[in-house]
Structure 1
Amino acid sequence: RNGANDIEDGARLGFAFVDPATGTPSDSTGTARGFFHRLQDPIDYVVDLETGVITLRSPLGAEHTLAAWYRDASGIEHGNVANADTLFLRLLAPPTQELYDDGKGYAPIRVLEQKNVYNIGAQNLDSDSFELRIIRTEPGSTEELDNQDGIPYVQVLGLDYKGIAANDLEPDQRVEPVFVDFEAGTLTFPNITPFAPDSSVVEVAPGSFSAVNVIVAPSQVSTGRAATPAVEKEGPKLQRDNAILYTKEPTEFFGQQQYLLEMKFSTPTPTFNLNRFNIIEGSETVKLNGRALSRGADYDINYEFGQITFRNPEASRADANIEVDFEFVPLFGQAKESLAGVSGTYNFSPNTRLSSSWLYFSRATPEERPKLGQEPSRILVGNLYGQWITNPGFMTSLVNALPLVRSNETSEFQVQGETALSIPNPNTKNEVYIDDMEGVEDSREFPITRGVWNPASEPAGPTPDLDKRADQVRPLPFAFYNPENTVRRGEVFLEQATERDGQDFIQVLEFRTERASSPDSTGWFGVMRNLSSVGENFSEKKFLEIWVNDFGTAQGKMILDLGEISEDFYVESANPGHGRGILDSEDQDFDEELTSAIEDTGLDNQFGVDGNNVPNDDGNDDFDFTRSDPDSIRYEKINGTEKNSRLDTEDLDGDRLLDTDNTYYSYVFDLSNTAVGSPGGPAIYNNLDDPGNHWRLYRVLLDDSQSVGGVSGRRALKYARLWFDGIDGAPGAKMQVAS
């Protein structure tokens, strides 16, 4: 399920249950909902009706849910597809990020995936060349063991139980062919959970344990073959189990012992020359039979010599259609190099001359911090050559004075000399970086552009005073916007105050209470946004930082929520059938495009000028922004949804459902506490030298949060909500945040 599951393409609303016999659409756990496409057998999958094993033709996307309806051999139906509008299915696989979230109730599903089948990484293997070595490693040790008490792990784990000959009952340290699909490239262990011994129990649900790793005969393993080995032999059992592989998510494997599969095999590897040198790295697009391939997974390429080697054996087929598009640099044209030369000769006289030649060569680099071997360099080489020729008469006379010698030619005396000079500079920057360390900081910055935020839904805590749902507490009327040219960089980032960049204006997100206040408002307001349709992983992040300017009021609280947050922010509507509990959207035909003439109505789905009392029109949702208006009224209607030329919807994650879950982490900042370094709260930094500057930075550990709704882990946080509580409801109260 995702935003691409269009109804026009046959997607149907459905509910997938851990137990279809007892599950209901209103269940808060053990249920996945979405729009489902029907997969086609055998185009999208194949199923072994005897073993009940489903094999997908392509990997299941991390954001997708897999579910099924079927009738077993006893005639019992699992699910119900008779309803024309809604499917009721058995859940097979929820989105990856939700599988290990105990709060979702998906723990029983974790045992459904066949974790004894491993992808070798290649197809069409040569069976005679295949070798497997299983190695065990311990945390903190470099020792690698391939045996248990002298018995190879290949034998311990049941992959090797006899020799090649039919009557040879002794293992030969080679995997039995029945466990390897050489054509598809898969290895199947004869145990359901191969790296947990049969005597162990596995936690299949919180607090529920079961001995799921029953040793099965090789003939019972789904290998796609009907043949069974003639001899089956009970072997040794694995002593050092690794049951965490089958109960926890991969992020929790760190520090555990590991079993490594070391395989050797040969397979066709077609190689082609592109007839070009100096291919620009990353510029290539490679397609095999119309399907885009990935470098490193499907092919390898030598950019220098223009040679591509395919890992996919389909490329070696005679009917394979291979397309490769790439960019290249002509020979000697890739590096930024300059070569200049000059040569000259000066004749002082017909017999005296002086000549010189000079060459200058430089090599530049686009890197601001050049790494070793990529340094910018230059070299200057030159020479000086001189020649002097004379005709000394005395030398002729001396020669003629010799007995029996008579010279008829004029004597010539010639002096030549040359000197050369080389001035190299192998690094014009005089420094080189072994590693520029640019990847050390892993940060996630939330954009503060107004258009990516929406009004906030009613918070559910984290404390009773911050739960606005029980009494359906209405937010304080407010506007949020990006004021133009109001805050300079140096006001927020003090270290840049004296630099030229410190005078540049930066973008801030400003909140301002409206002139018209509601009598039942309690002073809370805020905004929210979707971070990712499948959830963003914050498990490796450590700190949360936020800059805020309260203009010196020092009151109320600022709260940031991260996780599953209700999308139901449009709770009051003048149009019946809209508002609380309803998915409100301008996208009436679900094409994810805005047809301004009929759809840009606002969330009430009714055109009407504010103040004209148009039936079913909210009367307060018109968009208007005039830059020349005074600041006091310029932004009053900037958040209007009617005729704002954007598609407004509560469906922030694009799944065509109104998500109402509230399971998230909350970070509460007490704005009345402005003391730097206050104990018991987040670290606070501000400008102590300028009492008129009320910008301050709050920094808190992501672990120092309060949870709402039993959220577990920061692996898949889908939404962010920033809101304020306890703020004076007087017109014109303002708050600013900067990123």
Structure 2
Amino acid sequence: RVMFPVLEPFGRDLASQIYTASPPPPDVKDTLFYALYDSIKAVAQQYPNLNRFVLKGLAKTSGSADISIGFNIPPGSVTVTAGGRNLQEGVDYDINYDLGTIRITNQAILTAGLPVQVNFENNASFGLQQRSYLGLRLDYMAKNTASEQLSIGGTIVRLSERPFFTKVNLDEDPIRNTMYGLDVNYRKDLPRLTRLLDKIPIYTTTAPSSINIYGEAAYLKPGHAPQIGKGEEGLVYIDDFEGSKSGIDLRFPPISWTLASTPYQAEDPNGNILFPEAGLNNDLDYGKKRGKLAWYQIEQVLQQFRANNNPINDANLLSDPRVRPVYQKEIFPQRTTGFGESQLVTFDLAYYPSEKGPYNFEDDPSRLNPNGRFANPRENFGGIMRNIEQTDFETSNIEFIEAWVQDPFI
């Protein structure tokens, strides 16, 4: 981390040093980089003639004989080279397959400082796909005598894969293939053929003659997992256009939201200032028109009727539009949702303009009823605010703020 002792080292503070010379250098305008401080990053990058400052430094670290390669490494799949020479396991290095570490034991390699390169097969992503392989074999002996046998057999095998998500990409669709097989085995002794062959003068049989016929046929019926579609119409995605849009979810975390400041210079339709106390500083009257506002997220268990952990069994209360669960299909009817993703996590706000909000020290009896509530709640306000860490909207391609708001007048 580099720390500058001044606020604008390449702008105003640099100018204060340059203009001390008399006369100032003629190329002073090509040196000061004011856009770096009064514009966003995307705009500052449009001045390559000013973007000429380079910071250089040196760092020195100590090497280690241990190299971490991760867990679940197949034995025998690691190749280690030093300076283009293959190293031998057990002689030049040792591998701990349980911890996934390599220790160089050849001190000559460490002393020489040769670059060590490790190639290995990462088996971390293998074996995670849920597969099932089932088979059934049936044999029927249709005829079984001393001279003749006939057997019929059938085989059914199925290979199934279960996807992690219901939205799968092309060439990654989970299979559910079934293969049917049928085989027939027939054998019969032919004593007449044996006697016929014995009559040939130049040929003599040494074993009884028989005929064997064996045949089999198979049929493969391809299919797909039912999670991506029923029947023969599976659904895979050539391109996930929904995933091409990234956003910043402003709902989470809820603790990032704080009470909003008193609206400054807010006017009514006639041009009158609604909250003149917004210009006050370090004054108790600053929040005298702040109403009570609460923001929260309802636990999904409390929205499910007859849930085991839900103490509320009133169906009318759970059906109230202000507290009922909201599902993605209500807002996005064409969206494909995964298992457990059907319900939306809403960001709820409850506003009580007749009650005092936090830091409201209003004690004017003309504005308060005997019960402590405001006589004219229309004069009050309530609001919350939060910061956004990403400030360079142009570079990040952040174009708008999208919000789905429930009708408060239901």
**Hey, what does 2:161 align to over in structure 1?**
363
Compare 503-512 and 379-388 and name the one that shifted more. Answer: 503-512
Matched, 1:334 2:128: yes
Partner AA of 1:362 in structure 2: S
Partners of 1:357 and 1:382 within 8 A in 2: yes
Equivalent pair of 1:476/1:518 in contact (CA under 8 Å) = no
Question: Following superposition of structure 1 onto structure 2, how do residues 421-436 of structure 1 map, counting pairs within 5 Å?
Answer: 421-425=219-223, 429=228, 430-436=234-240
In structure 2, the partner of 1:201 is 29
Deviation digits for residues 548-570 of structure 1 (CA, Å, limit 9, x no counterpart): 67855xxxxxxxxxxxxxxxxxx
Post-superposition shift, 1:269? Answer: 12
Find the counterpart in structure 1 of residue 399 from structure 2: 542
For residue 525 of structure 1, report the CA deviation from its aligned partner.
2.3
The one-letter amino acid of 2:261's match is S
Residues 478 and 511 in structure 1, CA contact (< 8 A), matched pair in contact too: yes
Contact 1:477–1:525 (8 Å) recurs in 2:
yes
Tell me the distance in 1 between the aligned counterparts of 2:185 and 2:405. 79
Structure 1 residue aligned with 2:118: none
Partner residue in 2 for 1:476: 289
Q: CA deviation at 1:356?
A: 3.8
8 Å Cα contact 2:14-2:32 kept in structure 1 = yes
TM-score normalised by L of structure 2: 0.51
Give the conservation status (yes or no) of the 8 Å contact 1:456–1:525.
no
For the 8 Å contact 2:72–2:124, the answer to whether it is kept is yes
Deviation at residue 275 of structure 1 after TM alignment: 8.2
Deviations 1:572-597 (A, max 9, x none): xxxxxxxxxxxxxxxxxxxxxxxxxx
Q: Distance in 1 between matches of 2:126 and 2:294?
A: 52
**Does the CA contact (< 8 Å) of 1:459 and 1:468 recur in 2?**
no
In structure 2, what is the Cα distance between the partners aligned to 1:435 and 1:526?
Answer: 43
What is the 5 A alignment of 1:547-566?
none
Q: Tell which structure's C-alpha radius of gyration is larger.
A: 2
Aligned equivalent of 1:349: 143
Does residue 465 of structure 1 match 2:273? yes
| Residue pair 2:40, 2:392 contacting (<8 A) in 1 also | no
Specify the code of the residue in structure 2 equivalent to 1:251: A
CA distance, structure 2, for counterparts of residue 506 and residue 421 of structure 1: 51
User: Residue 390 of structure 1: CA displacement?
Assistant: 1.3
Q: CA, structure 1 residues 371+460, in 2 after alignment: closer, same or farther (shift >3 Å)? A: same
- 1:510 partner letter: A
1:117-162 Cα distance to aligned partner (Å, 9 max, x none): xxxxxxxxxxxxxxxxxxxxxxxxxxxxxxxxxxxxxxxxxxxxxx
Quote how far apart the aligned CAs of 1:248 are: 5.3
Q: Which residue of 1 aligns with 2:251?
A: 447
Q: Is the 8 A contact 1:354 1:385 kept in 2?
A: yes
1:108 aligned partner: 12
SS in 1 for 2:137: strand
Distance change >3 Å, CA 437–CA 481, structure 1 → 2: same
> Is residue 2:217 matched to residue 1:419?
yes
Aligned counterparts of 1:381 and 1:371: Cα–Cα separation in 2: 25
Find the aligned partners of 1:337 and 1:520 in 2 and give their Cα distance.
67
User: Relative to structure 1, is the Cα distance of residues 523 and 473 closer, same or farther in structure 2, using a 3 angstrom cutoff?
Assistant: farther
8 Å CA contact 1:475–1:525 kept in 2: the answer is: no
1:527 aligns with 2:335: no
CA deviations on 1:449-504 (whole Å, 9 max, x unpaired) are 9866544433322557144334746533632235975424569996479x9x9999
In structure 1, C-alpha distance between the alignment counterparts of 2:255 and 2:401, rounded to whole Å: 23
SS of the aligned residue for 2:277 comes to coil
Name 1:82's counterpart in structure 2.
none
Compare the two structures and name the one with the higher helix fraction: 2
Q: Does the 8 A contact of 1:204 with 1:247 survive in 2?
A: no
Query: Aligned AA for 2:400?
Result: F
Cα distance in 1 between the residues matched to 2:183 and 2:171: 35
Q: How does 1:187-266 map to 2 (within 5 A)?
A: 199=27, 201-202=29-30, 204=32, 249-253=40-44
Cα distance between partner residues in 2 of 1:352 and 1:550:
77
Give yes or no for contact 1:383–1:419 (8 Å, CA) kept in 2: yes
Tell me if the contact between 1:203 and 1:247 (Cα under 8 Å) persists in the aligned partners. Answer: no
Structure number having the greater strand percentage = 1
Q: Do the aligned partners of 2:162 and 2:225 also contact (CA within 8 Å) in 1? A: no
Task: Please give the alpha-carbon distance, in whole angstroms, between the structure 2 residues aligned to 1:359 and 1:202.
Answer: 76
Cα distance in 2 between the residues matched to 1:492 and 1:395: 79
Is the partner of 2:382 in helix, strand or coil? strand
Paired amino acid for 1:339: Y
Instruction: State whether residues 110 and 204 of structure 1, in contact with CA within 8 Å, keep that contact through their aligned partners in structure 2.
Output: yes
The answer on whether the counterparts of 1:399 and 1:407 sit within 8 Å (CA) in structure 2 is yes
Structure 2 segments unaligned to the other structure (5+ residues)? 17-24, 55-62, 75-99, 103-109, 114-121, 229-233, 299-317, 336-340, 356-370
For residues 77-226 of structure 1, the aligned pairs below 5 Å read 91-93=5-7, 107-109=11-13, 199=27, 201-202=29-30, 204=32
Provide TM-score, normalisation by structure 1: 0.31
C-alpha displacement of 1:536: 4.1
Q: Is the counterpart of residue 379 in structure 1 residue 177 in structure 2?
A: yes
Stretches of structure 1 that go unaligned for 5 or more consecutive residues are 1-58, 61-65, 68-90, 94-98, 101-105, 113-196, 207-243, 262-267, 280-305, 309-315, 320-327, 553-692, 694-739
- Identity rate, percent: 16
Structure 1 counterpart of 2:94: none
Match of 1:231 in 2: none
AA aligned opposite 1:544: I
Shift of 1:402: 2.7
8 A contact 2:328–2:344 mirrored in 1: no
1:341 and 1:360 in contact (8 A); partners too: yes
Change (3 A) 1:365 1:446: same
Secondary structure of the residue aligned to 2:186 is strand
Cα distance between partner residues in 1 of 2:252 and 2:70 = 49
Work out which of the residue numbers 425, 428, 437 in structure 1 matches 2:241: 437
